[in-house]
Amino acid sequence: MVRGAGRPRSFAVVGAFALVGVGCARAPRQVDAPSTPTRAHAVRAAVVAAPSPLRRLSNEEYDNSVRDLLGDATRPASAFPPDEAVGGFESNSVSPVTQPLVERYQLAAETLAAAARPRLGELAPCPPPEAPRACAARFVERFGRAAFRRPLDPRERASLSALYDETARRRGHERALSLVIEAVLQSPSFLYRAEPAQGGGGATRPLSGYELATRLSYFLWASTPDPALLDEAASGALDTADGVETVARRLFADPRALDGVRSFFRQWLDLRELETLSREGEALSRFTPELRRAMAEETLRFGAHVTLSGGDVVEALLTSDESFVDATLARHYGVPAPAGAGFERVRLPSGQRAGVLTHASVLTVHASAEDASPILRGKFVRERLLCQPVPPPPPDAVISLPRFDPAETKKERFARHRMAPACASCHRMMDPIGFGFEHYDSIGAWRDREAERAVDATGVLGSTGDADTAFDGALELGRRLAASPRVRRCVATQWMRAALGRTERAEDAPSLDAAYAAFAAAGFDGRALLVAIARSDAFRHVGFEKEAP
Amino acid sequence: MRHRLARRRLLGALGAGLGAASVPFVPWLDARAGGPPPRRILFFFTSNGTIHERWLPEARGERLDKLSPILAPLERHKSRLLVLDGLRHQVIIEKSDRTGHAAGINTALTGRNNEITDPAQPLHSLATGVSVDQLIGARVGAGAKLRSIEAGVQVEPYNKDYASLSYAGPKAPIPPESSPYRVFDRLFKGLRPRGAADPEDAFALEDRRRVLEAVSSDLDALRPRLPASDRVKMEAHLDAVRALEHSLTTGAGAAAASACAKPALGPRVHPWKNDDIPAIARLQTDLVVMALACDLTRVATIQFGRAGAGHRFTWLGGEFAQDPQVDPGSLARGLHALAHRESHPESRAKLVRAHTWYAEQLAYLLDRLAAVREGERTLLDSTLVVWLNELGTGGDHSHERLPWVLATGARGPWKTGRLLSFPGQPHNRLLLSLCHAMGVDVKEFGDPDYCKGGPLTGLG
């Protein structure tokens, strides 16, 4: 039994300073000092929500949205520039768009509209004797509402109708409908998830039903709301936390929930990098496109499975000896290939693999081009599982690579990082954890020996506040991490970041506390965490910075 | 309101036919007998610093004498060079707590400090102001089809803070386009020689214009409803849509040279295959030169890799394929790894060869510019070429003695064929000089703390 499970506890202090970083040179922080129990029962004060910078659809969200709006599964956003992540999650909330991206939006909209041409009869039905103009008006209303995730306002209605009328005169009904599609898909009301300010700012307001429907569907489906969800928004069904929970549970039951959960794991575990990274040396020939795809698929399936099927999701994530492989990955792992062509649930090789830390995907993404990287793997654990960001190298770091001497062991070579005090304070946070993964090479294949030596996979987990230990190998590391409240809290924090598209701020602490408490009370069932986040004040409200008059 | 007015002005400038229901004019690709050629500026970026002892040319007084090993390929253009030694990224040295490759590329053309944009990932940061190429492009290139073009040679767009030399504004990086085919489309797609019009072109253009008009009105309507920090995003988006609208209806500029024609793309290259780098570099260079020759843009960038590029110079010899000297667990690869092993003789020799190859590419670019006739003169005469790097030396991430080299022909603003030394001077002063040379009269550029003394003295 995990400490703290089943007993709601508060970790407000963690929320407040989680982002300060491990501090490297400073003393390890005490992480789970509970706040006073009276707080939770105090009279409920007015909600104060943190500002949420304007988010632009991620490439995945764009692709899923046009799939659901137009039935087009060509994933045109794969040609867009990469997304911008905050807190590890794609939110496109920092940098404004530039002309090259606007050109891509235009090209994608034109391509999608052209592809929809043969299906216009289905998208904009117009049974005779109805006048095309009347059918078009209906299409504008319906398509506009679906794409903007709210009803059109009078100006938008007039603008799109005028575009239709003028084009229909010049170019005919079908061409005019195409231009309406193009204009809607390039509109900021489609591309951005606007949550406008009211009045002078500086205040918190609850989200409208439509805004909440949009947050919910992109959080749980990584896609646009369906008409039923927009109807629920209109009906007031999302006006209370209980209402939100009911709707969230309906969304879970939809196949699109798989997209949402897979999206979380793809971002949290950096799996997007599998598409682009390259390998060198001996691993190059083994790192086939099939293996690359299979690696990602294993972890995405596994993540969705353990999140949506109940039970302690953290325990399963970090220690489960079951996973999903196809023939390609089975060969890579040295387990019997499944009978069918696709992925099947299998038991992983005993003593070699258990949990996502031992998945080839995670190990490959956090490796150098030619070898395991204790730095990247340690940094990954520190930042993504312990929520302790590692600062960049200090300004005066002299980064001169020593000559590679194969006679030295890896630990001897990496010990140099920790000789200079400026480097030591941070590398101490990464390398000793990373050494625990030495049984896995640059593409996550198991090895007992490296460079004619038996692998030494002993490591040290330190400065965690609640899980400090020496350990041997990634399996033991996974078990240690699974037992750490800090790690469990961090998992909740990561989901919260994904839901909000930003890193947490002080205002979010009560929401994070409440979500964590509900997560723990439910025995760390993943669905309970997602519902609790959806119910939270931070999710259902938006705050605004005070503006200079 | 400001935007609506600006758009109206723009439409006016584009021709009265556009606003009406009549057929708008189609952008042509043709030579003009224009007036005096405009000034152009071209940034040529390579990464990982240099090796000063092998880079610094000899000079008699200021006059360039024997070129250094790294600069030797530029011998035939020696009289056109202005080699600048001693400039530094003062703003990074004094104000930044991050000093690596990313800090260098972010400050190189912005003259500003970086800002961490994601507290959970303090390794990433973006520049806090507009870059000099974009400022110049907005002024000098406003009438051209594109205000600027950014062509990359395998610049991985991931981690925009390592990829972007150009910034449209604070935290608004413009990573370069690494596909020559996409660069071609941005410049030449839809352009036809005069007289080869297809009526459908005009209809399609009118369609696009009307769609963008609807999009602009949505941006206008949403902007005032957002908090201030987000209104900036709507303004930038609107600006980009307006620029796109302009580029769709604009062909070769008034100063297009007689050599202006759609360039041939030749054998297919793979934009991300390391061994294709020389072919990609050629193609991007040819496209950019033709863009200038057709007066489609007046500001361009050719960027070899991201800051700290890890390209392997395999085309120079098999010994570049592997680095037996480098720990396989090291995160630095290729050129980047060599730079971080600069003190070792073998790595150093390879580094010199790599940087010399870059000088060869610059020499080719200057050849191409010099080959385009503009009346009595050549395209090179009206183009200011700026070779820059994100660091002084790569191995120790030094922001001192940045290896800037300028090149320009007869119409250039400065006396060339010289080596000038500006020890300890902030590079902001050079950025100011570039602005002034391009007719952009600003008193400060980038962080004002580093503009004291104004533009560099002694260039003219």
Give the residue from chain B lying closest to A156, CA to CA.
B218
What ipTM score was computed for the predicted complex, to two decimals? 0.93
Give the residue from chain A lying closest to B217, CA to CA.
A159
With a cut of 70, say whether residue B133 has pLDDT above it: yes
Give the residue from chain B lying closest to A542, CA to CA.
B227
Sequence ranges of the domains in chain B: 1-30+192-250, 32-182+256-442
Give the residue from chain A lying closest to B221, CA to CA.
A155
Out of A84, A189, A368, whose CB is closest to B328? A368
Cross-chain Cβ contact B119/A395 below 8 Å:
no
Give the residue from A17, A93, A99 with the most B CB atoms within 10 Å of its CB, the best one to mutate. A99
Strands A344-347 and A449-450, by their bridges, are: unpaired
By the 8 A CB rule, do A337 and A327 touch? yes
With a cut of 70, say whether residue B198 has pLDDT above it: yes
Give the residue from chain A lying closest to B212, CA to CA.
A183
Distance from CA of A41 to the nearest CA of B (A): 31
Looking at residue B79, what is its pLDDT?
97
DSSP H or E run through A89: strand A89-90
Out of A186, A371, A374, whose CB is closest to B215? A186
Alpha-carbon torsion (B434, B435, B441, B445), positive or negative: negative
- For residue A182, which of A79, A103, A110 has the smallest C-alpha distance? A110
On chain A, the residues whose CB falls within 8 A of the CB of B227 are 51, 197, 201, 544-545, 547
Give the residue from B230, B250, B347, B399 with the most A CB atoms within 10 Å of its CB, the best one to mutate. B230
Strand segments, DSSP code E, in B13-124 are 40-45, 59-60, 63-64, 81-85, 114-116
On chain A, the residues whose CB falls within 8 A of the CB of B233 are 54, 96-97, 192
* Residue A81 structure tokens: 């520039």
What backbone torsions phi and psi does residue B152 show, to the nearest 5 degrees? -110, 150
Give the residue from chain B lying closest to A545, CA to CA.
B227
Cross-chain Cβ contact A167/B210 below 8 Å:
yes
Looking at residue B197, what is its pLDDT?
73
A522: left (phi over 0), alpha (psi -120 to 50) or beta: alpha
Distances from the Cα of A89 to the Cα of A61, A63, A382, A412, B391, angstroms: 12, 17, 17, 36, 31
Looking at residue A18, what is its pLDDT?
40
Mean pLDDT of B101-122: 91
- pLDDT band for B2, please (50, 70, 90 cuts): very low
Out of B122, B241, B329, whose CB is closest to A368? B329
Out of B177, B208, B322, whose CB is closest to A100? B177
d(CA A484, CA B195): 74
Distance from CA of A10 to the nearest CA of B (A): 22
Cross-chain Cβ contact A371/B329 below 8 Å:
yes
Distance from CA of A42 to the nearest CA of B (A): 31
Give the residue from A102, A140, A165, A440 with the most B CB atoms within 10 Å of its CB, the best one to mutate. A102
Fold of the CATH domain B32-182+256-442? Alkaline Phosphatase, subunit A (3.40.720)
Cross-chain Cβ contact A95/B172 below 8 Å:
yes
Give the residue from chain B lying closest to A81, CA to CA.
B157
Cross-chain Cβ contact B207/A87 below 8 Å:
no
Looking at residue A34, what is its pLDDT?
37
Looking at residue B5, what is its pLDDT?
39
Strands B373-374 and B377-378, by their bridges, are: antiparallel
List the pLDDT tens digit at each of the 549 positions of chain A: 334 333 333 333 333 334 434 556 433 333 333 334 344 344 456 899 999 999 999 999 999 999 999 999 999 999 999 999 999 999 999 999 999 999 999 999 999 999 999 999 999 999 989 999 999 999 999 999 999 999 999 999 999 999 999 999 999 999 999 999 999 999 999 999 999 987 655 689 999 999 999 999 999 999 999 999 999 999 999 999 999 999 999 999 999 999 999 999 999 999 999 988 889 888 999 999 999 999 999 999 999 999 999 999 999 999 999 999 999 999 999 999 999 999 999 999 999 999 999 999 999 999 998 899 999 999 999 999 999 998 887 766 667 777 888 888 888 888 877 777 778 888 999 999 999 999 999 999 999 998 889 999 999 999 999 999 999 999 999 999 999 999 999 999 999 999 999 999 999 999 999 999 999 999 999 999 999 999 999 999 999 988 766
Average pLDDT, chain B: 91
Looking at residue B19, what is its pLDDT?
38
Distance from CA of A384 to the nearest CA of B (A): 9
Is B23 in a helix, a strand, or coil?
Answer: coil
Looking at residue A549, what is its pLDDT?
60
Cross-chain Cβ contact B325/A404 below 8 Å:
yes
Looking at residue A467, what is its pLDDT?
94
Beta bridge mates, B64: B59
DSSP string covering A251-317:
HHTSTHHHHHHHHHHHHHTTGGGGGT----GGGTTT--HHHHHHHHHHHHHHHHHHHHS-SBHHHHH
By the 8 A CB rule, do B124 and B88 touch? no
Alpha-carbon torsion (A161, A165, A170, A171), positive or negative: positive
**Please, which residues have CB within 8 angstroms of residue B338's CB and are 6 or more apart in sequence?**
B48, B323, B347, B350, B351, B354
Looking at residue B25, what is its pLDDT?
61
* Residue A13 structure tokens: 């202090």
* pLDDT tens-digit map of B143-171: 899 999 999 999 988 777 899 999 999 99
d(CA A404, CA B450): 41
Out of B175, B228, B244, whose CB is closest to A103? B244
Out of B210, B215, B240, whose CB is closest to A166? B210
On chain B, the residues whose CB falls within 8 A of the CB of A402 are 327
DSSP H or E run through B431: helix B428-437
What backbone torsions phi and psi does residue A265 show, to the nearest 5 degrees? -70, -35
pLDDT top residue among A412 and B48? B48
Between A and B, how many CB-CB pairs are < 8 A? 217
Distance from CA of B75 to the nearest CA of A (A): 33
Cross-chain Cβ contact A196/B225 below 8 Å:
yes
* DSSP label of A525: B
Is A373 in a helix, a strand, or coil?
Answer: coil
Give the residue from chain A lying closest to B123, CA to CA.
A392
Distance from CA of A27 to the nearest CA of B (A): 20
Out of B218, B341, B396, whose CB is closest to A156? B218
Distance from CA of B206 to the nearest CA of A (A): 10
- For residue A513, which of A12, A19, A165 has the smallest C-alpha distance? A12
Give the residue from A157, A365, A401, A504 with the most B CB atoms within 10 Å of its CB, the best one to mutate. A401
- pLDDT band for B295, please (50, 70, 90 cuts): very high
Give the residue from chain A lying closest to B228, CA to CA.
A547
Distance from CA of A470 to the nearest CA of B (A): 23
On chain B, the residues whose CB falls within 8 A of the CB of A369 are 333
Looking at residue A43, what is its pLDDT?
46
Cross-chain Cβ contact A182/B211 below 8 Å:
yes
**Please, which residues have CB within 8 angstroms of residue A358's CB and are 6 or more apart in sequence?**
A348, A352, A440, A444, A474, A475, A478
Distance from CA of B119 to the nearest CA of A (A): 6
With a cut of 90, say whether residue B27 has pLDDT above it: no
DSSP H or E run through B377: strand B377-378
